A and B are shown apart, each in its own frame.
Chain A
Amino acid sequence: GNSVTQMEGPVTLSEEAFLTINCTYTATGYPSLFWYVQYPGEGLQLLLKATKADDKGSNKGFEATYRKETTSFHLEKGSVQVSDSAVYFCALSPLQGAQKLVFGQGTRLTINP
Protein backbone atom coordinates (compact mmCIF):
# COMPACT_ATOMS: atom_id res chain seq x y z
CA GLY A 1 0.00 0.00 0.00
CA ASN A 2 0.85 3.65 0.00
CA SER A 3 2.29 5.29 3.09
CA VAL A 4 4.40 8.24 4.19
CA THR A 5 6.69 8.36 7.21
CA GLN A 6 8.04 11.62 8.61
CA MET A 7 10.55 12.24 11.33
CA GLU A 8 9.02 12.59 14.75
CA GLY A 9 8.62 16.04 16.12
CA PRO A 10 8.52 18.46 17.63
CA VAL A 11 11.60 20.12 16.20
CA THR A 12 12.93 23.27 17.86
CA LEU A 13 15.67 25.33 16.25
CA SER A 14 17.19 28.74 16.61
CA GLU A 15 16.74 31.37 13.95
CA GLU A 16 19.15 30.99 11.00
CA ALA A 17 19.75 27.30 11.73
CA PHE A 18 19.73 24.68 9.00
CA LEU A 19 16.58 22.60 8.79
CA THR A 20 16.02 19.06 7.61
CA ILE A 21 12.76 17.19 8.03
CA ASN A 22 13.02 13.63 6.81
CA CYS A 23 10.28 11.99 4.77
CA THR A 24 10.24 8.53 3.23
CA TYR A 25 7.45 6.90 1.33
CA THR A 26 6.13 3.58 0.13
CA ALA A 27 4.12 3.52 -3.06
CA THR A 28 3.35 1.44 -6.07
CA GLY A 29 3.95 3.10 -9.39
CA TYR A 30 5.17 6.66 -9.71
CA PRO A 31 3.62 8.94 -7.13
CA SER A 32 3.77 12.71 -6.95
CA LEU A 33 5.28 14.03 -3.73
CA PHE A 34 4.32 17.11 -1.76
CA TRP A 35 5.16 19.15 1.29
CA TYR A 36 2.29 21.03 2.90
CA VAL A 37 2.58 23.58 5.70
CA GLN A 38 -0.04 24.45 8.29
CA TYR A 39 0.43 27.75 10.10
CA PRO A 40 -1.40 28.25 13.39
CA GLY A 41 -5.11 28.72 12.85
CA GLU A 42 -4.91 28.23 9.09
CA GLY A 43 -5.57 25.46 6.59
CA LEU A 44 -2.87 23.39 4.94
CA GLN A 45 -1.04 25.16 2.14
CA LEU A 46 1.04 23.60 -0.57
CA LEU A 47 4.69 24.43 0.05
CA LEU A 48 6.31 22.55 -2.81
CA LYS A 49 5.95 19.48 -4.94
CA ALA A 50 7.78 17.13 -7.30
CA THR A 51 6.17 14.87 -9.82
CA LYS A 52 8.98 12.60 -10.99
CA ALA A 53 12.29 11.17 -9.88
CA ASP A 54 15.15 13.67 -9.45
CA ASP A 55 12.76 16.63 -9.61
CA LYS A 56 13.50 19.33 -7.05
CA GLY A 57 10.62 21.32 -5.62
CA SER A 58 11.41 24.69 -4.09
CA ASN A 59 9.55 27.59 -2.54
CA LYS A 60 10.22 30.26 0.10
CA GLY A 61 13.78 28.97 0.56
CA PHE A 62 12.63 25.40 1.17
CA GLU A 63 13.75 22.57 -1.10
CA ALA A 64 13.06 18.87 -1.47
CA THR A 65 14.35 16.41 -4.06
CA TYR A 66 12.39 13.36 -5.22
CA ARG A 67 14.79 10.45 -4.64
CA LYS A 68 13.39 7.26 -6.11
CA GLU A 69 16.40 5.15 -5.14
CA THR A 70 15.95 5.96 -1.46
CA THR A 71 12.18 6.61 -1.65
CA SER A 72 12.72 9.90 0.10
CA PHE A 73 11.62 13.53 -0.16
CA HIS A 74 13.43 15.32 2.65
CA LEU A 75 12.60 18.96 3.28
CA GLU A 76 15.51 21.37 3.76
CA LYS A 77 16.04 25.06 4.37
CA GLY A 78 19.38 26.70 4.81
CA SER A 79 18.41 29.41 7.28
CA VAL A 80 15.09 29.25 9.09
CA GLN A 81 13.12 32.21 10.39
CA VAL A 82 10.70 32.57 13.27
CA SER A 83 7.91 32.87 10.71
CA ASP A 84 8.65 29.30 9.54
CA SER A 85 7.19 27.95 12.78
CA ALA A 86 4.36 25.67 11.69
CA VAL A 87 3.42 22.03 11.18
CA TYR A 88 4.86 20.43 8.05
CA PHE A 89 3.24 17.47 6.30
CA CYS A 90 4.83 15.26 3.69
CA ALA A 91 2.30 13.68 1.35
CA LEU A 92 2.03 11.62 -1.80
CA SER A 93 -0.53 11.25 -4.52
CA PRO A 94 -0.46 7.67 -5.76
CA LEU A 95 -1.13 8.43 -9.39
CA GLN A 96 -0.06 11.30 -11.58
CA GLY A 97 -2.83 13.84 -11.67
CA ALA A 98 -4.81 12.02 -8.99
CA GLN A 99 -6.21 14.12 -6.23
CA LYS A 100 -6.22 11.80 -3.26
CA LEU A 101 -3.40 12.47 -0.83
CA VAL A 102 -1.71 10.17 1.65
CA PHE A 103 -0.13 12.16 4.47
CA GLY A 104 2.67 11.64 6.91
CA GLN A 105 1.97 12.37 10.56
CA GLY A 106 3.23 15.93 10.45
CA THR A 107 6.23 17.55 12.12
CA ARG A 108 5.78 20.56 14.35
CA LEU A 109 8.59 23.06 13.88
CA THR A 110 9.29 25.87 16.32
CA ILE A 111 11.90 28.51 15.57
CA ASN A 112 13.18 30.56 18.48
CA PRO A 113 14.59 34.06 17.94
Chain B
Amino acid sequence: GAVVSQHPSRVICKSGTSVKIECRSLDFQATTMFWYRQFPKKSLMLMATSNEGSKATYEQGVEKDKFLINHASLTLSTLTVTSAHPEDSSFYICSAPRDTQYFGPGTRLTVL
Protein backbone atom coordinates (compact mmCIF):
# COMPACT_ATOMS: atom_id res chain seq x y z
CA GLY B 1 0.00 0.00 0.00
CA ALA B 2 0.93 3.65 -0.18
CA VAL B 3 3.56 4.80 2.27
CA VAL B 4 4.33 8.20 3.67
CA SER B 5 7.53 8.69 5.62
CA GLN B 6 8.67 11.43 7.95
CA HIS B 7 12.15 12.37 9.03
CA PRO B 8 13.30 12.67 11.70
CA SER B 9 11.08 10.60 13.93
CA ARG B 10 12.12 12.65 16.93
CA VAL B 11 14.24 15.73 17.42
CA ILE B 12 15.40 17.71 20.42
CA CYS B 13 16.61 21.25 19.90
CA LYS B 14 17.50 24.34 21.85
CA SER B 15 15.18 27.30 22.10
CA GLY B 16 15.76 29.79 19.29
CA THR B 17 16.96 27.27 16.72
CA SER B 18 15.12 26.12 13.62
CA VAL B 19 14.09 22.57 12.88
CA LYS B 20 13.17 21.05 9.52
CA ILE B 21 10.83 18.06 9.24
CA GLU B 22 10.50 16.17 5.97
CA CYS B 23 7.45 14.36 4.66
CA ARG B 24 7.82 12.06 1.68
CA SER B 25 5.34 10.04 -0.31
CA LEU B 26 7.39 6.98 -1.16
CA ASP B 27 5.48 5.32 -3.97
CA PHE B 28 3.10 7.95 -5.28
CA GLN B 29 3.06 11.60 -6.20
CA ALA B 30 1.17 14.15 -4.17
CA THR B 31 0.48 17.67 -5.36
CA THR B 32 -1.04 18.35 -1.96
CA MET B 33 0.12 17.31 1.49
CA PHE B 34 -1.24 18.23 4.88
CA TRP B 35 0.53 19.06 8.13
CA TYR B 36 -1.10 18.36 11.47
CA ARG B 37 -0.09 19.01 15.04
CA GLN B 38 -1.11 16.71 17.87
CA PHE B 39 -1.11 17.88 21.45
CA PRO B 40 -0.94 15.34 24.30
CA LYS B 41 -4.26 13.60 24.78
CA LYS B 42 -5.84 15.88 22.20
CA SER B 43 -6.85 15.53 18.61
CA LEU B 44 -4.85 16.29 15.52
CA MET B 45 -5.17 19.89 14.45
CA LEU B 46 -4.72 20.78 10.80
CA MET B 47 -2.00 23.41 10.49
CA ALA B 48 -1.67 23.92 6.78
CA THR B 49 -2.07 22.53 3.30
CA SER B 50 1.15 22.18 1.36
CA ASN B 51 0.76 22.80 -2.37
CA GLU B 52 3.36 21.74 -4.90
CA GLY B 53 4.40 24.71 -6.98
CA SER B 54 2.58 27.33 -4.95
CA LYS B 55 2.30 28.78 -1.47
CA ALA B 56 0.99 26.78 1.41
CA THR B 57 -2.47 27.51 2.76
CA TYR B 58 -2.49 28.02 6.53
CA GLU B 59 -5.38 27.42 8.90
CA GLN B 60 -6.64 30.25 11.02
CA GLY B 61 -4.39 30.97 13.96
CA VAL B 62 -1.30 29.26 12.54
CA GLU B 63 1.66 31.61 12.09
CA LYS B 64 2.98 31.18 8.58
CA ASP B 65 6.27 32.90 9.40
CA LYS B 66 6.84 30.48 12.25
CA PHE B 67 5.88 27.30 10.43
CA LEU B 68 7.44 27.52 6.99
CA ILE B 69 6.19 24.98 4.50
CA ASN B 70 7.86 24.17 1.21
CA HIS B 71 6.51 21.61 -1.24
CA ALA B 72 9.75 21.06 -3.10
CA SER B 73 8.63 18.24 -5.39
CA LEU B 74 5.72 15.92 -6.02
CA THR B 75 7.01 13.59 -3.31
CA LEU B 76 8.44 15.95 -0.70
CA SER B 77 7.05 18.58 1.63
CA THR B 78 9.03 20.16 4.45
CA LEU B 79 7.89 21.92 7.59
CA THR B 80 10.42 24.23 9.22
CA VAL B 81 9.74 25.41 12.74
CA THR B 82 11.65 28.67 12.96
CA SER B 83 13.02 30.12 16.18
CA ALA B 84 11.53 27.25 18.10
CA HIS B 85 10.31 27.74 21.66
CA PRO B 86 9.24 25.21 24.28
CA GLU B 87 5.57 25.80 23.44
CA ASP B 88 6.29 24.48 19.94
CA SER B 89 7.07 21.08 21.43
CA SER B 90 4.55 18.70 19.97
CA PHE B 91 3.95 15.76 17.67
CA TYR B 92 3.83 16.80 14.01
CA ILE B 93 2.15 14.54 11.47
CA CYS B 94 1.89 14.86 7.71
CA SER B 95 -0.49 13.20 5.29
CA ALA B 96 -0.75 12.81 1.55
CA PRO B 97 -3.85 11.88 -0.38
CA ARG B 98 -4.19 9.18 -2.96
CA ASP B 99 -7.32 7.04 -2.85
CA THR B 100 -7.51 8.07 0.76
CA GLN B 101 -5.32 10.02 3.16
CA TYR B 102 -2.04 8.31 4.03
CA PHE B 103 -0.35 9.50 7.17
CA GLY B 104 3.29 9.61 8.13
CA PRO B 105 4.39 8.12 11.46
CA GLY B 106 4.90 11.54 12.99
CA THR B 107 7.80 13.57 14.35
CA ARG B 108 8.17 14.28 18.06
CA LEU B 109 9.70 17.74 18.54
CA THR B 110 11.03 18.73 21.94
CA VAL B 111 12.33 22.26 22.39
CA LEU B 112 14.47 22.79 25.48
Q: Which 4 A-B pairs have the closest CB atoms?
A: A43-B103, A44-B103, A103-B43, A105-B43
* Interchain Cβ contacts under 8 Å between A and B, 17 examples: A41-B105, A43-B93, A43-B102, A43-B103, A44-B93, A44-B95, A44-B103, A45-B103, A46-B100, A100-B34, A101-B95, A102-B46, A103-B43, A103-B44, A103-B45, A104-B43, A106-B41
Min distance, Cβ A4 to any Cβ of chain B, angstroms? 7
Q: Is B104 within 8 A of A43, CB to CB?
A: yes
B32 interfacial contact with A, CB 8 Å: yes
Residues of B within 8 A of A102 (CB): 46
Q: Is A99 within 8 A of B44, CB to CB?
A: no
Name B46's contact: one of A44, A101, A104 (CB within 8 Å): A101
Once the chains are docked, how many angstroms separate the CA of A101 from the CA of B103? 12
Once the chains are docked, how many angstroms separate the CA of A17 from the CA of B102? 30
Name A43's contact: one of B4, B43, B45, B97 (CB within 8 Å): B4
A residues within 8 Å of B by Cβ?
4, 36, 41-46, 49, 89, 99-106
User: How does the 8 Å CB contact mask read for B22-62 relative to A, with 1 for contact and 0 for none?
Assistant: 00000000001010100001111110010000000000000
Q: Is B101 within 8 A of A99, CB to CB?
A: yes
Once the chains are docked, how many angstroms separate the CA of A102 from the CA of B34? 12
Name A89's contact: one of B32, B43, B104 (CB within 8 Å): B43
Residues of A within 8 A of B104 (CB): 43
Residues of B within 8 A of A105 (CB): 41-43
A4-B43, A105-B41 known; A43 and B106 CB under 8 Å? yes
Q: Is A43 within 8 A of B101, CB to CB?
A: no
Q: Is B4 within 8 A of A99, CB to CB?
A: no
User: How does the 8 Å CB contact mask read for B81-109 relative to A, with 1 for contact and 0 for none?
Assistant: 00000000000010101001111111000
Residues of B within 8 A of A99 (CB): 32, 34, 97, 101
Residues of B within 8 A of A100 (CB): 34, 46, 49
Once the chains are docked, how many angstroms separate the CA of A106 from the CA of B38? 10
Residues of A within 8 A of B43 (CB): 4, 89, 103-106
